[in-house]
Amino acid sequence: MSDFIVSARKYRPITFNNVVGQLSITTTLKNAIENQKLAHAYLFTGPRGVGKTTCARIFAKTINCFNLDESFDPCNECESCLSFNKNRSYNIHELDAASNNSVEDIRSLIEQVRIPPQVGKYSIYIIDEVHMLSSAAFNAFLKTLEEPPPHVVFILATTEKNKILATILSRCQIFDFNRITVDDSVDFLSKIAIKEKIEVSLEALNVIAQKADGAMRDALSFFDQIVSFSGKKISYQNVIDNLNVLDYDYYFRLTDAFAENDIPRALLIFNSILEKGFDGHHFITGLGEHFRNLLVSKDNKTLELLEVGASIKEKYKKQANNSSVNFLFKALQISSNCDINYKNSRNKRLHIELSLLQMCDILKQKEKQEIIKKIVNEKKEKLENEKIVNEKKENLEDKKIEIKQNEKIEIKKEEEKKPNIKKSKLSTLIKNREEKKLKKISDFEEKNISELEVNKDFSEKDIKNNIEEFANSVKEDTNLNVILKGINPVLKENFLIELNVNSNVAEKRVKEKHNKLLEFFRRNLKNNKIELNIKVVKNIEKTPQKRLSKIDKYNYLKNKNPKISSMKSMFDLGF
């Protein structure tokens, strides 16, 4: 047998200063020792592998040490420390509540508590996994836990505080241990790698720390496993291959495929992931975490929440700059829904593939929404313009009425000044006043017409109606009237109206009226951008249809209804 010791035991902390990631707890315990304010019962709670039992052992060793140094750490030289280091201490007792959870075991412990310590000041009882005690055992333990002998200190450790009775919790000082951060785990593993003379990249240590999920014991176990696999040189690829971890690169390539709406590429990447033996549920949770990391990478303030290596962090920052917040929110929502409904899905692969298709379609849907929004805004603007025009028209009508009223007042005043004026002269005066009034109205209209005119849209049907109206205004010119009614108008781009006539003579006659037609269209269709193009288009003569004989008609009807033939024979019919 070799003398190999696993790293979790070999590098287990022996002082509070060596404990990783629990500074607030270790400081509180050291201050309690320094000020000699020790409680009779402590409860250490938190996730697995974060140092609960380790801190309990260091605490027990420290309070029994005879020669504490200036930093209040055990001396490792006195009888108490030496006996503890060699696992032969009779003052520090460890009990596994998972296998000693009955009332009889607790009663035996209560009897043992009465015995004073042989060496040192205190008898310390460390009860691990205390939540495994039965309700009867808890109740039997209550009195002793509340009022133990002065030489006894209880340290209870558990991963599930919620399962412990409230009466037990109220009798203990409770210390909540935190998950160890990725940075702390990487720092501790780096120190071990240096001591063991192992060459390892920071990216590889980051993957090990993330896989451990805050548990230092798990991180050290993974480290030993990788060393056994790779030897003295550990690479990033060695870690992801051995620990069955999905490479970050898969998620970066998938996100690029979503941004380009590349559905085949996304499906092929997912297929390659499945072929390497990765679980679909593990993949979709990792994809959700990837989108979360991209989201926190959008802002430098939240970048510290990203628990990855420096090179990977740069990749996240680059891809985050190319991804919109809207896309990341919707992708997160889709991946979260896929994760929630994964277990209930019968066809799990199809369930994930549908989610990937939805992610590919996010940016396309956004483009559609922008187009719809643009159309809605254009319609809204058009309605607002029409509203403004209508309001100006109403103001114009009001002004006309005001002008008429003012003219009437002026005429009335004139009549009052000249009561003896002749009737003929008065009528002439009224006529002149009317002409002036009309001129004022005309001038007012000309002044405001530019404000009323907007370049409205119109259709070919509107053009035909206006041509018909213009043709009716020149009925006395029969030839021109016929030509105008035979025009075939075509609406082109930029409000160009093409008037197609069937002869050069017709073209000449219509061109004579070009300016009047243009002015007529612009005024009636309310569009100053209208232009006219008069064009000769020769009519294509239709090929005369062949006249059908009676036999042809009969054959046609017979093909449509075969019963006609039998009816002809039955009644002996002829043509």
| 155 and 73 belong to one structural domain | yes
| 268 and 410 belong to one structural domain | no
| 135 and 163 belong to one structural domain | yes
- Contact between 96 and 128 under an 8 Å Cβ cutoff? The reply is yes
Distance from C-alpha of 192 to C-alpha of 18, rounded to nearest angstrom: 12
Calculate mean pLDDT across residues 331-353.
91
Q: What is the pLDDT of residues 426-456, one digit of tens each?
A: 556 555 665 665 555 555 555 554 444 456 7
At residue 94, the 3 state secondary structure works out as strand
| 290 and 145 belong to one structural domain | no
Distance from C-alpha of 13 to C-alpha of 497, rounded to nearest angstrom: 91
- Contact between 564 and 557 under an 8 Å Cβ cutoff? The reply is yes
- Looking at residue 505, its pLDDT comes to 82
- Looking at residue 421, its pLDDT comes to 47
Instruction: Tell which of 159, 176, 193 closes a domain.
Output: 176
- Contact between 529 and 493 under an 8 Å Cβ cutoff? The reply is no
Radius of gyration of the chain measured on its C-alpha atoms = 48
How many domains does the chain contain in total?
A: 6
Site of tokens 């108008």: 489
Distance from C-alpha of 177 to C-alpha of 182, rounded to nearest angstrom: 15
| 172 and 89 belong to one structural domain | yes
34 lies in some domain: yes
- Contact between 81 and 74 under an 8 Å Cβ cutoff? The reply is yes
1 lies in some domain: no
Q: What is the pLDDT of residues 380-423, one digit of tens each?
A: 777 777 777 777 777 777 776 777 677 667 666 666 665 554 44
- Looking at residue 175, its pLDDT comes to 93
| 220 and 256 belong to one structural domain | no
DSSP 158: E
CA distances from 59 to 13, 15, 43, 125 (A): 12, 9, 13, 11
Q: What is the pLDDT of residues 467-512, one digit of tens each?
A: 888 888 887 788 888 888 888 888 888 788 888 888 888 888 888 8
User: Closest Cα partner for 255 from 334, 320, 325, 307?
Assistant: 320
Query: What is the phi/psi pair of residue 155, to 5°?
Result: -125, 110
| 473 and 572 belong to one structural domain | no
Distance from C-alpha of 161 to C-alpha of 169, rounded to nearest angstrom: 9
Distance from C-alpha of 204 to C-alpha of 294, rounded to nearest angstrom: 21
pLDDT at 542 over 50: no
Count other Cβ atoms within 10 Å, centred on residue 18.
15
73 lies in some domain: yes
Q: What contacts 501, CB < 8 A, 6 or more positions away?
A: 483, 486, 487, 507, 510, 534, 535, 536, 537
Calculate mean pLDDT across residues 528-535.
84
| 145 and 252 belong to one structural domain | no
For helices 310-321 and 202-212, angle between their N-to-C axes, nearest 10 degrees: 80
Token pair of 115 as six digits: 């015995």
Q: What contacts 356, CB < 8 A, 6 or more positions away?
A: 254, 258, 263, 266, 267, 270
- Amino acid letter at 573? L
The parent domain of residue 231 ranges over 182-242
2 lies in some domain: no
Distance from C-alpha of 250 to C-alpha of 290, rounded to nearest angstrom: 10
| 165 and 190 belong to one structural domain | no
Residues in the chain: 575
At residue 259, the 3 state secondary structure works out as helix
Distance from C-alpha of 108 to C-alpha of 110, rounded to nearest angstrom: 5
CA distances from 439 to 283, 396, 413, 431, 436 (A): 83, 15, 21, 12, 5
Site of tokens 């294509």: 540
Distance from C-alpha of 295 to C-alpha of 282, rounded to nearest angstrom: 20
CA distances from 440 to 272, 446, 447 (A): 84, 10, 10
| 122 and 66 belong to one structural domain | yes
Whole-prediction pTM value?
A: 0.58
- Looking at residue 174, its pLDDT comes to 92
At residue 492, the 3 state secondary structure works out as coil
| pLDDT band, residue 268 (cuts 50/70/90) | very high
CATH number for the domain harbouring residue 229: 1.10.8.60
Token pair of 294 as six digits: 């991209």
Torsion angle defined by CA atoms of residues 561, 566, 567 and 568, in that order, rounded to the nearest 10 degrees: 100
